[in-house]
């Protein structure tokens, strides 16, 4: 009888241990790559995959199908929304924290996003849309988000004096232990931040220092979105490069050969 009890307890502990181990397995890029071939993705977004490395980036941020994820400013193009929202709709949650209609300059962009959600309810019917403004902190219920992600917004917030208030919003929304994932155009180290902010580039060391000042702790750095071809001295800043091509046809082949900007990819944790 005692041996039977010991065996039963041992099996129970083994099941618990195995379950914990399975849950602890990280999501890999190979898990996410099948999502990239979905038929509903727009051709324009698919064309950017070689530059944005979405599978590797999302895996690095630790996003799982049961995660509650807030994307800051997905825009009308919804590059990451196309990938994440359908994947998260059954077990997780995708929140689009977008510039809302209260700011006239963003009304058209926000309207396009909302129309897309309405037209494709099977994909986006469970998406929540919240207003994102630097002076408003409720992008999600406090302490509810597993991950907050932002792509190439940091330079705008720094130039507009919105960074610290934005970071407060992210910190408030995240659970303890939650992840803040940041991607932005990586600036030069031989120039000050002030010297290159108008060009759209951000020094990685400056970005890390400012985000840690807001209470986050840097957890890891990835080079998945690095581009050594980007010399960061273009006449129209980062917008000289694709996809913007601000010079239009002038030297277009040259800038197409460079590709999109050199970018840092940072993962922070809320202690």
**pLDDT of 82-132, one tens digit each?**
999 999 999 999 999 998 666 655 667 788 888 999 999 999 999 999 999
Q: How far apart are CA 226 and CA 243, in angstroms?
A: 16
Q: How far apart are CA 44 and CA 41, in angstroms?
A: 9
> What's the N-to-C CA distance of the chain in angstroms?
47
In which order are the strands placed within the sheet that holds 145-151? 128-131, 93-98, 68-72, 145-151, 174-185, 263-269, 217-222
Domain segments of the chain: what residues?
41-269
**pLDDT of 178-202, one tens digit each?**
999 999 999 999 999 999 999 999 9
Q: How far apart are CA 266 and CA 88, in angstroms?
A: 22
**pLDDT of 23-55, one tens digit each?**
445 689 999 999 999 999 999 999 999 999 999
Report the topology of domain 41-269.
Rossmann fold (3.40.50)
Mean pLDDT of 241-258: 97
Q: How far apart are CA 226 and CA 260, in angstroms?
A: 10
- State residue 25's pLDDT score: 59
Above 80 in pLDDT, residue 224?
Answer: yes
Q: Classify burial at 246, counting beta carbons within 10 Å of its beta carbon; exposed 0-12, middle 13-18, buried 19 or more.
A: middle
The larger pLDDT score, comparing residue 99 to residue 234, is at 234
């Amino acid at each position: 009888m005692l041996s039977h009890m010991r065996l039963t307890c041992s099996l129970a502990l083994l099941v618990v241990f195995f379950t914990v181990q399975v849950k602890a397995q990280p999501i890999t890029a190979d898990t996410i790559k099948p999502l990239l071939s979905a038929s509903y993705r727009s051709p324009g977004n698919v064309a950017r995959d070689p530059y944005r490395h979405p599978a590797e980036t999302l895996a690095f941020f630790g996003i799982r199908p049961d995660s509650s994820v807030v994307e800051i400013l997905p825009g009308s193009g919804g590059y990451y929304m196309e990938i994440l929202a359908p994947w998260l709709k059954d077990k997780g949650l995708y929140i689009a924290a977008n510039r809302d209609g209260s700011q006239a300059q963003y009304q058209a962009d926000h309207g396009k996003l909302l129309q897309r959600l309405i037209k494709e309810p099977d994909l986006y019917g469970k998406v929540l849309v919240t207003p994102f403004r630097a002076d408003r902190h409720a992008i999600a219920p406090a302490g509810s988000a597993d991950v907050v992600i932002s792509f190439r917004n940091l330079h705008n917030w720094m130039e507009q004096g919105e960074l610290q208030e934005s970071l407060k919003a992210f910190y408030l929304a995240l659970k303890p232990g939650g992840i803040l994932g940041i991607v932005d155009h990586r600036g030069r180290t031989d120039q000050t931040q002030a010297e290159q902010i108008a060009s759209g580039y951000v020094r990685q060391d400056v970005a890390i220092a400012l985000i840690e000042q807001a209470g986050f702790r840097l957890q890891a750095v990835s080079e998945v979105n690095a581009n050594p071809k980007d010399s960061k001295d273009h006449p129209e800043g980062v917008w000289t490069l694709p996809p913007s091509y601000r010079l239009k046809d002038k030297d277009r082949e040259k800038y197409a050969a460079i590709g999109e900007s050199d970018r840092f990819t940072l993962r922070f944790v809320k202690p």
